[in-house]
Amino acid sequence: MSEAIKNITIIGNQTETWMTAILLFRALQGRCKITVIDNQEVSEPATFEVSAYFFEIHKRFGINLKPVSQPENSVLFAATQIISGQAADKSVWLSHDVALPQYKGIELPHITSFLNLPTENYSPSIYLAKHNKMLAPKQFNPVLGRYEPGGQINGEVYLNFLKEAAKFVGISSIHAAVTNVNFDSESGQVRQLVLSDGQTLDCQLVINTSYQTRQLLNQTQAFDKGTQNKAIQNTDTANKLAFSRCDQFIVENVAPAKHSKTIRRVGHSVLSQTQFLNKTVLSFYSNDDSGLNPDVQQYLQTHYPESNQVYQHMQMPLPAEPIWQANWLDFSSFRFTLSPYYPASTLLLRGVMRLLELFPGADFEVSNTQLFNQQYHLDITGFSEYQALFNYTVNLMFSDESSQLSEQNQHRLALFTSSGKVSHELNPMISRENWRNLLMCASQNQFGFDPVLQALDPKAMNQWLHQLIQKISHL
């Protein structure tokens, strides 16, 4: 019988590191000793994006985010505007609706598509965003469905909050870098970490969030892990990450917070823009390894000459190897600034939750590890596919038709275009509603409808829509 794990070592010194540490501590009720190897290697983003899942998980483990949720440290948004970037700007709105009103059991987008009306005019969340309003989901009139706002959080404040919490609960940290890793020659397990201060640390479960250490851990390539992870091949998803670089700029101002996010192409870069109570945050995503894209520089000079760069980060592609091997997991690719399109914090949180579902004993059962890798691979694939479809949408808005869609995304789009249906996903990380909202944009609001509508009275549908828009206007 396997013994319980007594200690967990987490390598890294960033928001992702400390969030993992705190969540594991709370979920394991403090039964495991958690040590953070604080190697001081990267800068932190000024802000990062979160979803409703982020708040839900913190709440589930009794972590009160009140200090982080103050208006000066966070902003919620109801929808995202995707702007063409051309001179005569046109845009589409990506809603955050998760349940939409139904007419005789048929969802709103089918009705608007059938009547050839713009769906976004009837979306409650888009209405809120356009009018710069914010309502807590609980305050929402249930007749109008339900929505889940997205959010941006001040990275520094959240990191300090986590570090304080870690100190308070007794998570220990060692200020040193990992210089070498000693593996067990048979199992490929990490036995010891050799640190820059000369210490040698014995390990049981190791979670890596550091780029530097990733190379050291991957020395285990030499071991035969074929039987352990034969079903997983992440190589296909590695290439699907859209961007290799993220640069953040801040413009100090006193403008009110804006409850929408905007996405636009700037040359070959993508700009994600959010506005806090007292500052505007501009996050540029690109594939320029040599430096800041000239288009971006020009854009900043023209529009935001007062901006200051606060963060620069080169993204690593997702590892070709499975995330969990032997007794270590490599989360180092999942920086919160991985994508302008979908909060990467959700992807990391999902990984931590899957680890808890399949929490190992001290002998690290191979089939358990394999199950984790299979399930998490589905999450990563879902994330990558969503990003790719979003990128396709942004490029379309920019009249760039060079994006190639994967077979799965082609199927999703074909089904939605044909009859407004959303492809079924098994235990998905990206919900059906999120896919539907994106597909509306990806199809440029030219999608199909349920044929049954042909049998219903269009006058009655129009009346229903009229009543709906009246209710929305009271939000």
Partner 1 sequence: MNKRQIRKIVILGGGTAGWMTAAAVANRLPSQFYQIVLVESEQIGTVGVGESTIPHIRQFNETLGIDEAEFVRETNATFKLGIQFKHWGKSGESYIHPFGEVGELTNGIDFHHYWLKAKSLGLTDSLDQYSFLAQAALEQKFPEKAQLKGEKFSQYAYSYHIDATAYAGFLRKYAQNKGVTRIEGQVEQVCNSDKGDIESLVLQNGQRIYGDLFIDCSGFRALLIDDNLKVEFEDWTHWLPVNSAMVAQTELTEAVYPMTIATAHKAGWAWKIPLQHRMGNGFVYDNHFMSDDEAGHLFSQHLNTKPINEPRILRFKTGVRSKLWHQNCIAIGLSGGFLEPLESTSIYLIQLGIFKFLELFPHLEDMSAEQAEYNRIMQHSYQTIRDFIILHYHLNQKSDSEFWQRQQQMSLPESLQTRLAAFKESGRVELGQFGVWSAVCIGQNLIPKRYDARLDWLADSELMKFLSIQKQQIEGAKTKLPTAAEYIKNLMKQGR
Contacts of 21 (CB under 8 A, 6+ apart): 10, 34, 36, 162, 166, 171
- Smallest separation, CB 28 to partner 1 (Å): 7
- Smallest separation, CB 237 to partner 1 (Å): 20
Closest C-alpha among 205, 156, 108, 209 to residue 433: 108
- Smallest separation, CB 351 to partner 1 (Å): 15
Q: Which of 311, 372 has the CB closer to partner 1?
A: 372
Element (H, E) at 349: helix 344-357
- Smallest separation, CB 426 to partner 1 (Å): 5
Distance CA 163, CA 161 (A): 6
Tell the burial category of 104 from Cβ atoms under 10 Å away from its Cβ (0-12, 13-18, 19+): exposed
Q: Which of 2, 86 has the CB closer to partner 1?
A: 2
Coil vs helix vs strand at 269: strand
Contacts of 258 (CB under 8 A, 6+ apart): 75, 77, 132, 274, 275
Query: Is residue 303 within 8 Å of residue 330, measured between CB atoms?
Result: no
CA 206 to chain centre: 23
Residues that bind partner 1 (CB under 8 A): 1-5, 27-29, 31, 114, 116, 231, 356-363, 365-368, 370-371, 374-375, 411, 414-415, 417-419, 421, 423-424, 426-427, 448, 450-452, 454-456
- Smallest separation, CB 61 to partner 1 (Å): 10
Element (H, E) at 75: strand 74-77
Q: Which of 296, 358 has the CB closer to partner 1?
A: 358
**Which amino acid belongs to residue 207?**
I
- Smallest separation, CB 78 to partner 1 (Å): 29
Query: Is residue 249 within 8 Å of residue 304, measured between CB atoms?
Result: yes
**HEC sequence for 151-167:** EEEEHHHHHHHHHHHHH
Q: Which of 28, 475 has the CB closer to partner 1?
A: 28
Secondary-structure breakdown of the chain: helix, strand, coil percentages, each rounded to the nearest 5: 35, 25, 40
CA 191 to chain centre: 32
Q: Which of 424, 459 has the CB closer to partner 1?
A: 424
Element (H, E) at 217: helix 211-217
Quote the tokens at residue 339: 């994508």
- Smallest separation, CB 214 to partner 1 (Å): 27
The full length of the chain comes to 475
Coil vs helix vs strand at 399: coil
- Smallest separation, CB 257 to partner 1 (Å): 36
- Smallest separation, CB 5 to partner 1 (Å): 7
- Smallest separation, CB 366 to partner 1 (Å): 7
- Smallest separation, CB 182 to partner 1 (Å): 24
Q: Which of 250, 358 has the CB closer to partner 1?
A: 358
Distance CA 345, CA 460 (A): 43
Query: Is residue 52 within 8 Å of residue 192, measured between CB atoms?
Result: no
Q: Which of 23, 78 has the CB closer to partner 1?
A: 23
Q: If you search the block for the tokens 């305050």, which residue do you land on?
A: 139
Query: Is residue 187 within 8 Å of residue 326, measured between CB atoms?
Result: yes
Q: Which of 424, 474 has the CB closer to partner 1?
A: 424
Contacts of 445 (CB under 8 A, 6+ apart): 92, 118, 119, 120
- Smallest separation, CB 415 to partner 1 (Å): 4
Q: Which of 227, 470 has the CB closer to partner 1?
A: 227
Q: Which of 306, 365 has the CB closer to partner 1?
A: 365
User: Count of alpha carbons within 13 Å of 22, Cβ hemisphere only?
Assistant: 27
Q: Which of 424, 466 has the CB closer to partner 1?
A: 424
Q: Which of 71, 451 has the CB closer to partner 1?
A: 451
Q: Which of 31, 167 has the CB closer to partner 1?
A: 31
- Smallest separation, CB 27 to partner 1 (Å): 7
**Which amino acid belongs to residue 468?**
L
